[in-house]
Structure 1
Amino acid sequence: MQLSEARPLLGIMVTELMRQLPFANSDFYKRLTQFGLQEGLHVFVFSPNRIDWDRFTVTGYTYIPESREWITNLFPLPTLIYDRCFFSTKDSYHQYRSHVSKLRTKPEIRFLGYGLSGKWEVQQILQKNDYLLPYLPETHFLTNGHDLLHWLNKSNEVFLKPQGGSQGRGALHIQKVMSPDDRMRYIVKGRNARNLPIHRHFKKFEACWYWLRGLIGKRPYLIQQYLTLQSKKGTAYDVRSLVQKNGKGLWETTGMAVRSGKPGSITSNLHGGGTAEDVTDFLTREFGATQAETLIAELTLLSNLIPPVLETHHGRLAELGIDLGIDTLGRIWILEVNSKPGRTIFARMHDKKARSKSIANPIRYAGFLLHKKLS
């Protein structure tokens, strides 16, 4: 295949997996490739592990619409990089960081955005903003069993989540309850690292902590105040807001939707079996039309404010998935911010407009960066 010299290269950087094609989400990347051609960009997919640093080339895949197939080719290092790497091991992350560090030293290469660090670092940045501070749940690093017991003695329940986790994996709800025989019990609900449900009971805290340490291992975890983020039916839910930079380099809200978890689940993530629903319909049913309108205005305001706050302290970002919770009293909480958000929620809702826009915006922003002189 001959590459057109007139078309700048946009490389989608992904994690290499043991499958026929070395990347997941190939349908998403196929759509990016097709839209890129319309916008004058040649889009291809590559793993940083395939870079030849001696020749400054990389083996990658590109989609051919005419034959409806992916083909492999040797590319020069791309002018623009859209980072969509996800990691399951520390080794793969460190290998990735090594390649990214080299790529970032090349002034001719521009990243659409740089991935956010873990949840703790994001929390620390957001806490610097006085307006956002009341929306942030109390959060600390989980360092030992004494900390966890202190939280449980204070509030009877806490939420634990991995510092670097995603898709609800490893999220745990711990409760201290009084049993019918007037004895203290400790209940753990949530999901393990493989996203399988967990439900355990312990008679003593020591046994609970010992089991938790085996489950968590050496992964850094956060301990957070437990928020009652449930619908009238008792299902966990949150609001996912996708914000992206557009072709003018400006932030805009691409779409917003409610994610509801399976009955009994402590999280609402779609990968854990949750469902997606229109935010206006859902909140109107839960809080009434007037309060729903007020909540949506507040959710929109937060979606507009969070990106520039993070970007000021972190560096360039291209898109964010912002997860916002609403407790039973109607108070909004900032739960998580993800710099590599998915688009599944719009497909589940059959929201073609938001889904198309979510694919178009990274391409249009790439075009903006091509013509913008960076300081």
Structure 2
Amino acid sequence: MRKHYRIEIAPNNQNIVFCPPSILKGKKINRMAFGSKSIEVHFFPHPDKNDRIVLSKPIQEALSFPDLAVPMHVFLDKQTFHIGPLIGIFTSGFTPFPEQPIGDRTQLFEKLLSVKNSVGAMPFVFGEQHIDWEQGMINGYFYHKDTWQNFDVPFPNVIYDRLPNRKSERNPKLIKVKERLQKDYLIPWYNPGFFNKLDVYERLQQDPLAAIFLPETFPFTSFSIIETMLSKYGHVFIKPKNGSLGLGVHQIIYDKHTGDYFCRYQDKVFANRLRKFSSLEKLFPNVFANQRLDKMLVQQGIHLLRHEKRPIDFRVHTNKDDEGKWQVTAIAAKIAGQGSVTTHKRSGGDIKTIGEIFSEEESALYTEKLSNAALLLSEALERNIEGIIGEIGFDLGIDRNRDVWLFEANSKPGRSIFNHPDLEEFDLLTRKLTIAFAVFITEQSILHPEELFQ
């Protein structure tokens, strides 16, 4: 971990910054920057305090630096002394209520921002309505001492995309904000956009290191594709190309002894259904009435490991750290509900640790297999998808031959697995690394912008 420094505000009126002698040694520095603001200042070594940087009140005000007692990193470029990172977390869905400024998602952001001291960064939440383009300032929401506070701050060093859904992502106004901040202000933007299942599949299929984990997948074009795949695999899944939370997933099973087709799915009131039909031509009008089949894909069925006769898949989180390296940060087993087509909690699924359902030997084997696959897939997605990716939630399966399969990659993974008491420490780790990655991006954007924006 890089060193970060306490920032103190001195009650004097001089244009002076005191900082550790080790930072100033052999360097000529005459400017200080915070986010997009910078000013000329005089630097002096602090004789006693090697772990802190002291700003005068006028410098604090000129840089619009909130005095929140947050330790910060230092980045030196030419003659400029940058303190940061200042991290803007971009989202939508703000409310007029001071204690719940982001509605139901307020607690999620409170937990995310609460790691600021341990990471050494200053994160805040904002939406498009909080930007003052003329002044180059943002009225951001900061979480400090268990309360939300607003401060006007400069444009940030880096922006973390936390738009809540695809609808907000397609909003023309929000698209324009994102383009303007990235192109006109050259602010790095990480985890942009939701993954499209078919797009991810097609890109990874071209990558030999990733292709081995992919179940056969096609866009829905005709019944003949389904018939062909059923004859090969016995069952297939029909999924929305842009679905999430397991919504709209159907499993079709062919019984070669009776010639019947079974469809397992969840209906509109979230009840698990299993229906029998004599042909696909009868199944589809009944089950998929009013659904756009051209927005669906067909995926090979996998015979998964089971626990108490219920299929298991795995959620594996990966995050980039403050060195820009991928780490596996959490693994959980998800057990399907009775008669359910997915492992989601809403349809009766259970979250378990791997150790709860497998022997010690099996746990070690499956953890290693899932970790290796998730790291390879993270690197492959980074190679094949535009934008800066800092976290991914993978839904992986292991079949009876102990081979690993990728079902889905999520650029904005849900956090329901962390409700399990044995996974709370991994919840903290994923939040820390999500913010720590911004330290790495900030350093890259200041010292090696050509690599970041190539």
Distance 2:204 2:148 in 1: 41
- Verify the 8 A CA contact 1:44 1:62 in the aligned structure 2: yes
Higher relative contact order (CA 8 A, sep 6+): 1
Cα deviation code 1:284-305 (max 9, x no counterpart): 2xxxx44543333222211221
**Which of 238, 252, 256 does residue 313 from structure 2 map onto?**
238
The equivalent position to 2:327 in structure 1, one of 226, 230, 252, is: 252
User: Structure 2 length normalisation: TM-score?
Assistant: 0.71
CA distance in 2: counterparts of 1:318 and 1:32, whole angstroms: 15
Choose which of 126, 142, 153 in structure 2 pairs with 1:46. Answer: 126
Q: 1:302 to 1:79 in 2, by over 3 A?
A: same
Q: 1:4 aligned to 2:65?
A: yes
Equivalent residues of 2:89, 2:161 under 8 A apart: yes
What are the residue-to-residue correspondences of 1:141-220 with 2, within 5 Å?
141-152=219-230, 155-177=233-255, 184-191=259-266, 197-217=272-292, 220=295
Give the Cα–Cα distance (whole angstroms) in 2 for the partners of residues 360 and 318 of structure 1. Answer: 12
User: % of aligned pairs identical?
Assistant: 24
**Secondary structure at 1:25's aligned position in 2?**
helix
Q: For 2:164 and 2:293, locate their aligned partners in 1 and report how far apart those are by CA, in whole Å.
A: 19
Q: Give the CA deviation at 1:314.
A: 1.4
Shift of 1:162: 1.2
Alignment counterpart, residue 409 of structure 2, candidates 337, 348, 373: 337
Query: Do the aligned partners of 1:12 and 1:84 also contact (CA within 8 Å) in 2?
Result: yes
RMSD: 3.1
The residue that corresponds to 1:139 in the other structure is 217
Partner residue of 1:104?
182
Task: State TM-score, norm by structure 1.
Answer: 0.84
Q: Distance in 2 between matches of 1:85 and 1:243?
A: 19
Letter paired with 1:148? I
Matched, 1:312 2:383: yes
1:116–1:314 contact (8 Å) kept in structure 2:
no
Shift of 1:204: 4.1
**How many Å apart are 1:351 and its aligned residue?**
2.5
| Aligned equivalents of 2:390, 2:291: Cα separation in 1 | 32
Distance 1:77 1:187, change over 3 A: farther
Letter in 2 for 1:330: R
Q: Is the 8 A contact 1:33 1:63 kept in 2?
A: yes
Say whether 1:14 aligns with 2:75. no
C-alpha separation between the residues in 1 aligned to 2:293 and 2:171? Answer: 16
Q: How far 1:146 sits from its partner (Å)? A: 4.0
Indicate conservation of the 8 Å contact 1:311/1:317, yes or no.
yes
- Residue 364 (str. 1) matches residue 364 (str. 2): no
**Counterparts of 1:195 and 1:236, CA distance in 2:** 19
Structure 2: state its 5+ residue gaps.
Answer: 1-60, 67-82
Q: How far apart in 1 are the matches of 2:365 and 2:118?
A: 39
* In the alignment, structure 1 residue 303 sits paired with structure 2 residue 303: no
1:323 aligns with 2:323: no
Distance (whole Å) between structure 1 residues aligned to residue 198 and residue 134 of structure 2: 37
Q: What SS does the corresponding residue of 1:148 show, helix, strand or coil?
A: helix
Distance in 1 of aligned mates of 2:269 and 2:167: 13
Structure 2 CA distance for aligned equivalents of residues 145 and 96 of structure 1? 39
Regions of 4+ moved over 6 Å = none
Note closer, same or farther for the CA distance 1:94–1:138 as it changes in structure 2 (3 Å cut): farther
Query: CA distance change for structure 1 residues 296 and 91 in 2, over 3 Å: closer, same or farther?
Result: closer
Residues in 2 aligned to 1:215 and 1:273: alpha-carbon distance in whole angstroms: 26
Change (3 A) 1:337 1:19: farther
Is the partner of 1:308 in helix, strand or coil? helix
Higher Rg of the two aligned structures:
2
1:221 matched residue in structure 2? 296
Residue-pair matches, total: 365
Distance in 2, matches of 1:310 and 1:207, equals 39
Cα distance change, pair 131–308 in 1 and its aligned pair in 2 (3 A)? closer
- Residue 169 of structure 1 contacts residue 194 of structure 1 at CA under 8 Å; is this kept in 2? no
Give structure 1 stretches of 5+ with no counterpart. none
